[in-house]
């Protein structure tokens, strides 16, 4: 009897694990979100990143509002089986709701957080 690949994941008490989206070509970390069984299964089936929105308590297909879809190129599970990396192609070049390429645009310098990446598109123009 084969074990479903989703059963091999160590989901937390809420049925979630963190998912790190990484650019499939540059290796840049774009964002971190959460997935549950359904969203991860849909990601694989639809070949695009589908997350679980904890704030909205519903499935979130990345790019459904912004158009900035993440095309899936690979799914990697860590050794503890409690975190995944989604290797993605970020359509439109913007992953962050602030209009930047990556959500990781703040660098700690001399005890202060400093912005290290430009806004590529005004969020007001993305989310009308």
User: What CATH number does domain 5-93 carry, 3.40.630.10, 3.60.15.10, 3.10.20.810, 3.40.50.11540?
Assistant: 3.10.20.810
How many other CB atoms are there within 10 angstroms of residue 12's CB atom?
A: 11
Q: Would you say residue 62 has pLDDT above 50?
A: yes
Six token digits for residue 85? 């990396």
Helix runs in the chain, H state only: 37-46, 123-126
How much is the pLDDT for 127? 84
How much is the pLDDT for 1? 45
* Chain segment 29-43, per-residue pLDDT in tens: 999 999 999 999 999
CA distance 49 to 38: 12
Q: Would you say residue 28 has pLDDT above 60?
A: yes
């Amino acid at each position: 009897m084969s074990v479903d690949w989703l059963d091999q994941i160590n989901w937390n008490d809420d049925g979630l694990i963190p998912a790190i989206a990484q650019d499939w070509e540059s290796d840049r970390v774009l964002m971190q979100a959460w997935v549950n069984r359904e969203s991860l299964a849909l990601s694989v089936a639809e070949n695009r990143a589908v997350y679980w929105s904890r704030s909205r308590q519903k499935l979130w297909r990345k790019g459904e509002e912004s158009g900035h879809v993440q095309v899936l190129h690979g799914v990697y599970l860590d050794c503890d089986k409690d975190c995944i990396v989604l290797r993605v192609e970020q359509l439109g070049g913007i992953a962050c709701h602030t209009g930047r390429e990556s959500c990781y645009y703040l660098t700690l310098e001399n005890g202060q957080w400093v912005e290290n990446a430009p806004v590529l598109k005004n969020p007001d123009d993305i989310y009308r």
